[in-house]
């Protein structure tokens, strides 16, 4: 699942076009709309789902789960708060790399 993924649909109406990267070494990087890296986190795959885990200081870990479709061209994230889906699609390259 390594590579770059762009937000292409969101039932919560978030602005589209966000970018995230899964690296082969188990690290994840999200980029804001201005292509500023939002930090590096770890991820792992369990039973086909991708778990990105961040540590909230003084609280504990939170995992965001992405579920790939059968041909692994899309990832679905379901919000635990709203129960709505966001869809990310794999794209070659990343518009943000040239800016960083």
Q: Quote the pLDDT of residue 43.
A: 96
Query: Which residues of the chain, if any, have pLDDT below 70?
Result: 95, 97-100
Report which of 83, 27, 84 is spatially closest to residue 50, judged by C-alpha positions.
27
How many H helices and E strands in the chain?
Answer: 0, 8
Tell me the C-alpha distance between 55 and 13, whole Å: 26
Summarize pLDDT for 66-77 with one digit per residue, the tens.
999 999 999 999
Tell me the C-alpha distance between 9 and 7, whole Å: 6
Q: What is the DSSP letter of 77?
A: E
Q: What's the whole-model pTM score?
A: 0.86
Task: Collect all residues with Cβ–Cβ distance below 8 Å to 15 and sequence separation of at least 6.
Answer: 33
Q: Quote the pLDDT of residue 97.
A: 62
Which domains does the chain show, CATH number per domain?
3-99 (2.40.128.270)
């Amino acid at each position: 699942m390594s590579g770059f993924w762009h937000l292409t649909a969101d039932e919560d109406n978030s602005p589209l076009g966000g970018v995230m990267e899964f690296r082969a070494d188990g690290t994840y990087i999200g980029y804001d709309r201005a292509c500023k890296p939002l930090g590096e986190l770890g991820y792992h795959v369990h039973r086909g789902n991708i778990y990105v885990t961040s540590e909230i200081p003084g609280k504990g870990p939170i995992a965001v789960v992405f579920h790939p479709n059968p041909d692994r061209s899309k990832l679905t994230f379901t919000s635990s708060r709203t129960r709505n889906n966001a869809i990310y699609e794999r794209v070659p390259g990343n518009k943000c790399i040239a800016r960083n």
